[in-house]
Amino acid sequence: MNRFTRRLLYIALAIAATLLIGTAGFVVIEGYPPFDAFYMTLITMTTVGYSEVHPLSQAGRVFNSFLIIFGVTTIFAAVGVMAQSIIEMEFGDVIGKRRNKRMIDKLKDHYIICGYGRVGRGAAAELQHAGVPFVVVDVRPERVEAAIHGGLLAVAADSTRDETLRLLGVEKARGLVAALATDADNLFVLLSAKGLNPNIYVATRAAEEGAEEKMRRAGANAVFAPYSITGHRLAQSLLRPHVVQFLDFTTKDIGIDVEIEQVRVAEASPADSKTIRELQLGRDIGIIVLAIRERDGSMRFNPPADTAVHGGDYLIAMGRQENLRALESLLAESRGART
């Protein structure tokens, strides 16, 4: 049931309730016949100015006074709601587009999801769970409507066009997900996004064999082949079910409050050049360092306790959400360095 239908239902219920109460009141208090009581209630609510059907007693006039207040208020409210609904039906698209544009103009360091199919919906759900700002764009209006009903910021437009990406603030965006139906469209979006913002991080899907390498040559930072990944996970679930279960625990919202996060060491962080042992990350914060991605791009897995961390490194850490936030604070830039 859409919002307009709900409003009509509420209006009808309010008017029907007023008519029922008024009719019953005149029947009980004044002894009116049911039709006369209904007619008296109707002319009272609509303020047409006709005289009383039958003379009213003192109690009847008191009841009618309250009926006038309640009935007229109900009618006026119904007229107002109907007028608002009609205006929204006529100008809702214009108002919605202006509101979306204002919200998009305020975005910075956000993410863009191109395509709201099954892959796009999965990406949107993960970004929404992470609490980061993002906008969805799809050429199909019904998908955009579904995204808006889900509480997302969404735009109906062709994401392969440069003007659409500019509208979505691609120059200020941190990342983009290309999840369109064809590899050609995803490649087009990739090239357009990189042309408008060379520093944007682009993750794209590749459906056809051989498309993955082409996407990487075109500048994609991450390429995922859904069919290949699904096949790999299916086989892994047979060969190493406990490993797959562990990965699900740490990468999906399935009830356990443990996540894997990447946390950057700020250049002027107090933790710069200190070892993992000196930081006491496990004892004081309660997280496990799985790996360190060093500034030169190399990855050091299961680093020993005497490994030093440096500004620009990323710690791949596992722990509860509040512990990971504490780690971010520890590795952030010191207040003295900011000032």
Residues linked to residue 301 through DSSP beta bridges, in sequence order: 291
pLDDT for residue 111: 96
User: With 70 as the cut, is the pLDDT of residue 68 above it?
Assistant: yes
| Confidence (pLDDT) at 244 | 78
What tokens appear for 89 in the block?
A: 């039906």
Is the pLDDT reported for residue 248 higher than 80?
Answer: no
**How does residue 254 score in pLDDT terms, banded at 50, 70 and 90?**
very low
Domain boundaries, the chain: 3-102, 108-224, 257-338
Band (pLDDT 50/70/90 cuts) for residue 339 is very low
Q: Do residues 136 and 144 touch, judged by C-beta distance below 8 A?
A: yes
Does domain 108-224 sit in CATH 3.40.50.720?
Answer: yes
CB-CB neighbours of 182 under 10 Å: 11
pLDDT of residue 5: 77
Pairing of strands 259-264, 314-319: antiparallel
pTM over 0.95: no
β-strand partners of 201: 175
pLDDT digits (tens, 9 = 90+) for 82-132: 887 776 665 555 545 667 778 888 889 999 999 999 999 999 998 998 889
| Architecture of the domain defined by 257-338 | 2-Layer Sandwich (3.30)
Are domains 3-102 and 108-224 of this chain identical in fold? no
Please give the CATH number for the structural domain made up of 3-102: 1.10.287.70
The pLDDT mean for the chain works out to 86
